[in-house]
């Protein structure tokens, strides 16, 4: 550790106050949930339900995804649309249940990743949208 610098300065290149503010915000754990849809129409329908229902603050719809995967013993190579859903831990269970209920796939991808850092202003906005 360099003398006169905090742990955060040395390891992350930012001041400690920034990370303390971020840690306070993260008491409501922000999450990114990934899912795929077979096409844009389905992706928009799912995203709309999640955002309008305040289960996600934002859903990015990313076209042009190619997925290779095993399903029922066969290797598939399909075009899909990726949904990148921003939510929090408190809404994760309901968001997952909603995707599983409305999704046309028998076994839809729903993978939740914790957000461990980022823009304090953006994460604050995200959490406020879900209140």
3 state SS for 45-62: HHHHHHHHCCCCCEEEEE
Q: Domains for the chain: give ranges and CATH numbers.
A: 29-129 (3.30.70.120)
Three-class SS state of 113? strand
Residue 114's pLDDT band (cuts 50, 70, 90): very high
| 62 close to 104: Cβ distance less than 8 angstroms | no
What tokens does 82 get? 């990726």
Three-class SS state of 29? coil
Residue 80's pLDDT band (cuts 50, 70, 90): very high
Is the pLDDT at 13 greater than 70, yes or no? Answer: no
Average pLDDT (14-39) is 76
């Amino acid at each position: 550790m360099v003398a006169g610098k905090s742990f955060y300065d040395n390891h992350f290149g930012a001041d400690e106050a920034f990370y303390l503010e971020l840690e306070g915000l993260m008491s409501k754990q922000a999450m990114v949930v990934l899912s795929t849809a077979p096409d844009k129409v389905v992706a928009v329908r799912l995203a709309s339900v999640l955002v309008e229902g305040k289960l996600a603050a934002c859903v990015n719809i990313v076209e042009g995804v190619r997925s290779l995967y095993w399903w029922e013993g066969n290797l598939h190579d399909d075009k899909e649309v990726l949904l990148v859903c921003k939510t929090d831990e408190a809404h994760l269970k309901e968001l997952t249940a909603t995707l599983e209920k409305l999704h046309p796939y028998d076994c839809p991808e729903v993978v939740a990743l914790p957000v461990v850092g980022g823009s304090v202003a953006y994460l604050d906005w995200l959490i406020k949208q879900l209140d």
